Amino acid sequence: MSHPRARLSSVALIFTALFVLPAGPALGESVMIKRKYVSGRTSYIENQVELVQDISGLPMPALKLQSDQLYGLWERVESSTKDKTKIVLTYDRAARKVNAPMMGDVEFDTDDPEYEEAAPQLGTVLKPMIGMAMTMEVDKDGKVISFSGMDAVNERVSKLAIASMHWEQMKEEFTDERGKETWGTQPLLIYPNKKVKKGDTWKASSFRVRPRIGTIVTDYQYKFDRIGKENGRKIAVISYTAKVSLRPDAEKTPDAEAEGAKKKAASSDKPDKKDTKQEGSEKKEEAKDAEPDAEVSGSMSGMATYDVKLGRIVKRNIEGKVDIKVPLSKVMPNVPTGDEPKLATFKITIKSATSILSEEDRNKQKAEARKKAELRRKAEEEEEEEEEEDDD
């Protein structure tokens, strides 16, 4: 049975944006907000998510978990026609910092693997990802029609990070289905694929199926705030809000309930030959049916910057809170809960930011990491030499 902390990764939502000051409004001017693809173009995407989880309702004292994760991928437009675009995403950086009871502070960054605080148990999870690639295809309307490669990442890390508690908490997010959501569907939702002017609004929704919870729905409301300039480039600033809720599972629909009632009526016509074992089993079923549904509610807000010439969102951020209540029997199925159904409560605070860097900027970033590591190494050598002199 996986630890309840592992469940939170199932409900963790990935969002992005960064506030940009405008150069000044351009009343009445409209801008086409649509993702542009150029064959051969390469850029670096870096997504960082800060997550704080307050968990209660478990058969243990309430606890707080904090995590900060960052993933950087090279994005290369392999080919692009009027009907379809093929994109290759390759891991170039992975970093994670976790603070949890009984684990303390652990962190690791593949850009700085020799850092004195680097945790090898995290390194066994993150290092195997570097250099692995995913392939995504997008149609002319901005819909992701295929995604592959994340399952292979999962398979590789699972072989190399055997019995890793960190990987057990993370692995549900590393599937082709989740990769499609995180790196494809979600980032593309913001594009209305049409011309908009100051004050215009549009909507979009995302749907994420989460085991033990159901389908989490995030309804976005976007607004074109203004046109401005940043570093001499024309930009469009978009603000947005989001409401998070839960859509009932398929088995809870009226049609499904009616079908269940028919089956129950049919079974009641049969001879009643029940033994003690049967009755006990039926009571367990009744208790299961009586358990409360999961509950999800939350709200978020964010901003994004669209580079008009580049034809893409280059900075995004979002932050907010989501409350989730899940029947304890689903979180910890092997733990007795007594006669009264109980709910485990997850209060989640999320901050996320995504930025697009050029190859030059990414290379500078890596060079700075190497420089810091080298300075640290020299300082350590000097300290060792001083200690040897003192001993003499």
**pLDDT, tens only, 39-74:** 999 999 999 999 999 999 888 889 999 999 999 999
- Cβ neighbours, 10 Å, residue 273: 6
Q: What is the pLDDT of residue 26?
A: 45
Q: Which two tokens stand for residue 86?
A: 């093929």
Torsions phi, psi for 335 (to 5 deg)? -100, 125
Calculate mean pLDDT across residues 144-163: 95
Q: What is the pLDDT of residue 276?
A: 53
Calculate mean pLDDT across residues 317-341: 80
pLDDT at 171 over 70: yes
Domain boundaries, the chain: 20-35+194-251+284-341, 42-190
Calculate mean pLDDT across residues 78-98: 96
Calculate mean pLDDT across residues 132-136: 98
pLDDT at 339 over 60: no
Calculate mean pLDDT across residues 5-21: 35
pLDDT at 258 over 80: no
Least confident range of 293-302, 340-349, 356-365 = 340-349
Burial of 292 (0-12, 13-18, 19+ CB in 10 A): exposed
Beta bridge partners of 52: 66, 349
Helices (H), 244-327: 254-268, 276-290
Residue pair 62/14 in contact by the 8 Å Cβ criterion? no
Torsions phi, psi for 100 (to 5 deg)? -145, 150
For 380, half-sphere exposure in the C-beta direction (CA atoms, 13 angstrom radius) is 9
Least confident range of 54-63, 98-107, 256-265, 373-382 = 256-265
Q: Which residues contact 244 (CB under 8 A, 6 or more apart)?
A: 13, 216, 217, 218, 296, 297, 298, 299, 300, 320, 322
Q: Which residues contact 18 (CB under 8 A, 6 or more apart)?
A: 303, 304, 305, 315, 316, 317, 353, 355
pLDDT at 122 over 70: yes
pLDDT at 167 over 90: yes
pLDDT confidence bin for 267, thresholds 50/70/90: low
Tens digits of residue pLDDT in 221-240: 999 999 999 989 999 999 99
pLDDT confidence bin for 165, thresholds 50/70/90: confident
d(CA 259, CA 253): 10
Residue pair 345/56 in contact by the 8 Å Cβ criterion? yes
DSSP one-letter string for 162-175 = TT-HHHHHHGGG-S
Q: What is the pLDDT of residue 343?
A: 86
pLDDT confidence bin for 22, thresholds 50/70/90: very low
Q: What is the pLDDT of residue 211?
A: 80
Q: What is the pLDDT of residue 23?
A: 38
pLDDT confidence bin for 90, thresholds 50/70/90: very high
pLDDT confidence bin for 302, thresholds 50/70/90: very high
The chain-wide mean pLDDT, for the chain, equals 83
Calculate mean pLDDT across residues 137-158: 96
Measured at the alpha carbon of residue 41, what is the angle toward residues 44 and 127, in degrees to the nearest 5? 35
Residue pair 301/318 in contact by the 8 Å Cβ criterion? yes
Continuous segment of H or E residues that includes residue 197? strand 194-197
Q: What is the pLDDT of residue 153?
A: 97
pLDDT at 215 over 50: yes
pLDDT confidence bin for 13, thresholds 50/70/90: very low
Calculate mean pLDDT across residues 240-248: 92
The model carries a pTM of: 0.78
Beta bridge partners of 214: 210
